[in-house]
């Protein structure tokens, strides 16, 4: 028997050179902003849509064209100093030959805070903040952070070019709860005529906080709301991949797209799970997609179970009602059936679930939907067992 070709659907890892489902419009806007000085763009949207992937792809493309572009990830920073360190690494890498000027300039400005180390193999000099910088008072940490960006702008000016910076999960800045940092950053960015900035974020309520009319980033950015890859584009991409790997009959593909809903990862995951079933016979059927769907839920069962135990009773009951497709959560019938609290409490609970990323906001009633279709199906299956629903 011929071995099966490798699974053509991959998800979860951010490749250095990701093969990207095109997203033509978003991609060209992102390219435009990063290709010139002075641009400021915010890319926001639900999780697992592919924001990081698209940014990475465009960053690599522009690097290859000689643009000084860098991407930093704020998602794991504990302190402002960690963000400064991340910036330092990337700016020294992106500024090429000129980094020595940058470094000596920085050394003068932040001399007490920096240390350097030569890589024993390549001789390349690495620069970072001294550990003590992490315990410095917040106004010092802030000065360092803004100072690093100011000097990057200066260096770009001296070199007669611009630096493009992508900050992934920028909303984590709000976690430092230091309004002054945000206002200083706003002022600095406005003066950086030789930089361009793209911020991405997925925690919607934090982003809304930062962008509100009385907050630091109000009207600072043009924005892309990162929607699902359009259905026809996604369908064509998946079909092409299946066909190139020998699956030519695709009767189950529409069912796959319906069950997986809009998130890119959720779609790729169901395709990846369906592929081995389809590859054996050269056709993708609906029963195969159904089996793959159950297999995804089975794979995540332990995570769902542990998440479930973290929810309050109100949260669990609301999630139960929503998993049955109920939209009128305030109606007497639904309240009684799912033991829901009074309506004020329902809306607070919905908001809390939104902040945790379990739900996302929608236009249609009840104004929220499950972020993860597999979790929704798991709750639905639990309802059958726990509540005896058919």
Ligand X SMILES: Nc1ncnc2c1ncn2[C@@H]1O[C@H](COP(=O)(O)OP(=O)(O)OP(=O)(O)O)[C@@H](O)[C@H]1O
> Please, what is the minimum distance in Å from the beta carbon of residue 202 to Mg ion?
6
DSSP 261-288: -S-HHHHHHHHHHHHHHHHHHTB--HHH
| Site for ligand X, residues 92 to 121, rule: CB under 6 A | none
The contact pattern for ligand X, residues 195-214, with x = CB under 6 A and - = no contact, is -------x------------
Nearer to ligand X, 17 or 191 (CB): 17
Q: Does 265 bind ligand X (CB under 6 A)?
A: yes
Contact 129, 114 (CB under 8 A): yes
Binding partner of 203, given Mg ion, ligand X, none, CB within 5-8 angstroms per partner class:
none
Q: Is 59 helix (H, G, I), strand (E, B) or coil?
A: helix
Binding partner of 85, given ligand X, Mg ion, none, CB within 5-8 angstroms per partner class:
none
Nearest Cα neighbor of 283 from 245, 231, 232 is: 245
225 φ/ψ angles, rounded to the nearest 5 degrees: -85, 115
> Please, what is the minimum distance in Å from the beta carbon of residue 188 to Mg ion?
25
> Please, what is the minimum distance in Å from the beta carbon of residue 306 to Mg ion?
23
d(CA 29, CA 299): 37
Nearest Cα neighbor of 229 from 26, 8, 15, 372 is: 26
> Please, what is the minimum distance in Å from the beta carbon of residue 86 to ligand X?
16
> Please, what is the minimum distance in Å from the beta carbon of residue 52 to ligand X?
3
Which distant-in-sequence residues (6+ apart) come within 8 Å of 120 by Cβ? none
Neighbours of 119 (CB within 10 A): 9
The contact pattern for Mg ion, residues 327-366, with x = CB under 5 A and - = no contact, is ----------------------------------------
Q: Give the pairing type, strands 68-73 and 163-168.
A: parallel
d(CA 149, CA 168): 16
Binding partner of 10, given Mg ion, ligand X, none, CB within 5-8 angstroms per partner class:
ligand X
Nearer to ligand X, 14 or 118 (CB): 14
Q: Does 49 bind ligand X (CB under 6 A)?
A: yes
Q: Could you give the residue ranges of the DSSP H alpha helices within the chain?
A: 24-35, 51-64, 80-94, 99-109, 138-159, 179-191, 204-211, 231-244, 253-260, 264-281, 286-310, 313-323, 332-337, 343-355, 373-386
Number of residues that bind Mg ion (CB under 5 A): 1
Contact 171, 8 (CB under 8 A): no
> Please, what is the minimum distance in Å from the beta carbon of residue 50 to Mg ion?
8
> Please, what is the minimum distance in Å from the beta carbon of residue 292 to ligand X?
17
- Exactly one of 8, 50, 252, 366 binds ligand X (CB under 6 A); that residue is 50
| Site for ligand X, residues 2 to 21, rule: CB under 6 A | 10-14, 18, 20-21
Binding partner of 268, given ligand X, Mg ion, none, CB within 5-8 angstroms per partner class:
ligand X
How is residue 249 annotated by DSSP?
A: B
Binding partner of 236, given ligand X, Mg ion, none, CB within 5-8 angstroms per partner class:
none
- Exactly one of 264, 316, 317, 349 binds ligand X (CB under 6 A); that residue is 264
Name the token pair of 175. Answer: 């976690």
Name the token pair of 129. Answer: 């903040």
Nearer to ligand X, 260 or 268 (CB): 268
> Please, what is the minimum distance in Å from the beta carbon of residue 56 to ligand X?
7
Stretch that binds ligand X, among 239-247, 262-270, 305-313, 327-335 (CB under 6 A): 262-270
Using CB atoms, what's the residue nearest to ligand X? Answer: 50
Q: Is 361 helix (H, G, I), strand (E, B) or coil?
A: strand
Looking up tokens 């992106």 gives 94
283 φ/ψ angles, rounded to the nearest 5 degrees: -140, 145
Handedness of CA 303, 74, 45, 270 (dihedral sign): negative
Binding partner of 273, given ligand X, Mg ion, none, CB within 5-8 angstroms per partner class:
none
- Exactly one of 48, 52, 318, 334 binds Mg ion (CB under 5 A); that residue is 52
Nearer to Mg ion, 268 or 329 (CB): 268
> Please, what is the minimum distance in Å from the beta carbon of residue 158 to Mg ion?
33
Q: Which residues bind ligand X (CB under 6 A)?
A: 10-14, 18, 20-21, 23, 47-54, 202, 264-265, 268
Q: Which residues bind Mg ion (CB under 5 A)?
A: 52
């Amino acid at each position: 028997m011929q071995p099966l070709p490798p699974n053509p659907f991959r998800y979860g890892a951010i490749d250095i050179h990701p093969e990207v489902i095109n997203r033509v419009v978003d991609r060209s806007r992102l390219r435009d902003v990063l290709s010139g000085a002075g641009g400021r763009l915010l890319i926001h949207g639900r999780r697992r849509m592919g924001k990081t992937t698209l940014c990475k792809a465009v960053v690599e493309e522009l690097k290859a064209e000689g643009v000084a572009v860098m991407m930093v990830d704020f998602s794991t920073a504990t302190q402002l100093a960690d963000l400064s360190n991340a910036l330092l690494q990337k700016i020294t890498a992106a500024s090429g030959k000129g980094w020595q000027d940058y470094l000596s300039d920085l050394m003068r400005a932040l001399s007490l805070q920096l240390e350097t180390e030569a890589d024993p193999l390549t001789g390349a000099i690495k620069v970072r903040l001294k550990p003590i910088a992490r315990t410095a008072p917040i106004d010092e940490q802030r000065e360092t952070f803004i100072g690093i960006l100011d000097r990057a702008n200066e260096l770009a000016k001296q070199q007669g070019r611009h630096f493009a910076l992508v900050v992934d999960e920028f909303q984590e800045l709000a976690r430092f709860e230091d309004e002054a940092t945000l206002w200083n950053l706003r002022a600095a960015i406005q003066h950086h005529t030789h930089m361009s900035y793209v911020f991405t974020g997925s925690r919607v309520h934090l982003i809304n906080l930062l962008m509100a009319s009385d907050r630091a980033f109000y009207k600072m950015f043009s924005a892309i709301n990162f929607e699902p890859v359009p259905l026809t584009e996604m369908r064509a991409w998946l079909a092409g991949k299946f066909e190139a790997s020998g699956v030519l009959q695709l009767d189950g593909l529409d069912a796959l797209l319906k069950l997986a809903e809009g998130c890119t990862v959720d779609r790729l995951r169901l395709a990846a799970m369906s592929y081995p079933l389809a590859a054996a016979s050269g056709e993708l059927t609906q029963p195969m997609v159904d089996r793959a769907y159950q297999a995804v839920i089975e794979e995540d069962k332990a995570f769902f179970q542990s998440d479930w135990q973290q929810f309050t009773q109100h949260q669990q009951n609301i999630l139960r009602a929503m998993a049955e497709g109920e939209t009128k959560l305030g109606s007497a019938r639904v309240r009684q059936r799912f033991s829901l609290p009074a309506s004020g409490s329902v809306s607070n609970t919905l908001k809390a679930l939104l902040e945790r990323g379990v739900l996302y906001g929608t236009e249609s009633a009840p104004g929220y939907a499950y972020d993860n279709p597999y979790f929704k199906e798991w709750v639905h299956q639990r309802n059958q067992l726990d509540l005896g629903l058919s």
